[in-house]
Amino acid sequence: MKATCILILFWPLFMLILSDESQTFKTEVKCNFTKQNYYLIPADINKEVTVLDLSYNQITLNITDTSILQMYYLLTELYLIENSVIILCNNSFGNLSNLRILNICRNSIHIIQQGAFTGLTKLQQLYLCQNKILQLNPDIFVPLKSLKLLNLQGNLISYFDVPQLFHLELIILHGNPWNCSCSLLNLQNWLNTSNVTLENENITMCSYPDILKYYSIKTVPYKAECYSKLPSPITEDLQINFQSISNSTFNSSLNNLTRNSGNVLDTNIAEDSILKN
């Protein structure tokens, strides 16, 4: 293999003053192996690699690849654009605890196992655009405590359970066949109440039902009945106290909830969790 890794050392000016060099310089080792016809992630790359571009190959990210990837634990950026990934398996990136950017756009991913992103606690940008994702289990995002950007553009997603991504700043959702039946109201609520920006809001449109086509998922008007149908995120194991139901848009569903669970809930908390979930 032609090694095309480039080593770049950064010595920020002020650090030259400090004596302990080993702690103060940052090394970037960039390896660019785009369009090499690789079927597997090469195992003989410099172990110090921090930026690895393997785009435009035929890598499947099978178990052979993931065990090789574990060696490159200094990686901060990994690009696998236009490869042959179909399934993202559990622990695919298990040892990559330094990874900040992961780009797997333009593959054929249709299954993401629940533990696929385990270990990626520092990941800030996740690009899954132009794949064949139909459904996303919100639990897959749980390990991504630092995620700021999520790109799901150009998939087959019609419904999206609100993910628990508290630091998310930007989400890209256009090019999916959004089903703007009541079930997407939760997502709208989240888009409105969290600090996340929906990129290309105007072209992030409903595909269904026909009468709501060309409405943005962020502004599509939902009928009152949708609000009362909001699936309740409150479960029996949450210990919430309820004193009185008053003045709430969710009055009827809350009422129902209290009746059904027999629990005594606090209006504020209940409303809050409905809004935020």
Ligand X SMILES: *[C@@H]1O[C@H](CO)[C@@H](O)[C@H](O)[C@H]1NC(C)=O
**Which positions touch ligand X (CB under 6 A)?**
32, 34, 39-40, 51, 53, 60, 62-64, 70-71, 73, 79, 90, 95, 113-115, 158, 179, 181, 183, 185, 188-189, 192-195, 202, 208, 218-219, 228, 245-247, 251-253, 255-256, 260
Smallest separation, CB 108 to ligand X (Å): 14
Nearer to ligand X, 15 or 32 (CB): 32
Smallest separation, CB 222 to ligand X (Å): 7
3-state SS class at 111: strand
Nearer to ligand X, 131 or 188 (CB): 188
Nearer to ligand X, 131 or 267 (CB): 267
- Closest CB to ligand X: residue number: 115
Nearer to ligand X, 86 or 240 (CB): 86
Q: Which amino acid is at 41?
A: I
Smallest separation, CB 253 to ligand X (Å): 5
- Residues 216, 219, 225, CA angle at the centre, nearest 5°? 115
Q: List the 125-127 sheet strands across, edge first.
A: 5-10, 26-32, 51-53, 77-79, 101-103, 125-127, 149-151, 170-172, 197-199
Smallest separation, CB 17 to ligand X (Å): 30
Smallest separation, CB 14 to ligand X (Å): 27
At CB < 8 A and 24+ separation, what contacts does 237-244 make? 238/273, 240/265, 240/266, 240/269, 240/270, 241/265, 241/266, 241/269, 242/266, 242/267, 242/270, 243/267
The answer to whether 79 touches 53, Cβ cutoff 8 Å, is yes
Smallest separation, CB 41 to ligand X (Å): 10
Nearer to ligand X, 88 or 152 (CB): 88
Nearer to ligand X, 107 or 179 (CB): 179
Nearer to ligand X, 24 or 135 (CB): 135
CA dist 115 to 89, 135, 177, Å?
7, 15, 26
Smallest separation, CB 270 to ligand X (Å): 13
β 26-32/5-10 pair status: antiparallel
Smallest separation, CB 169 to ligand X (Å): 10
Q: How far apart are CA 205 and CA 176, in angstroms?
A: 8
The answer to whether 173 touches 204, Cβ cutoff 8 Å, is yes
Q: How far apart are CA 208 and CA 258, in angstroms?
A: 32
**Range list of H helices, 74-208:** 185-193
Nearer to ligand X, 15 or 46 (CB): 46
The answer to whether 258 touches 232, Cβ cutoff 8 Å, is no
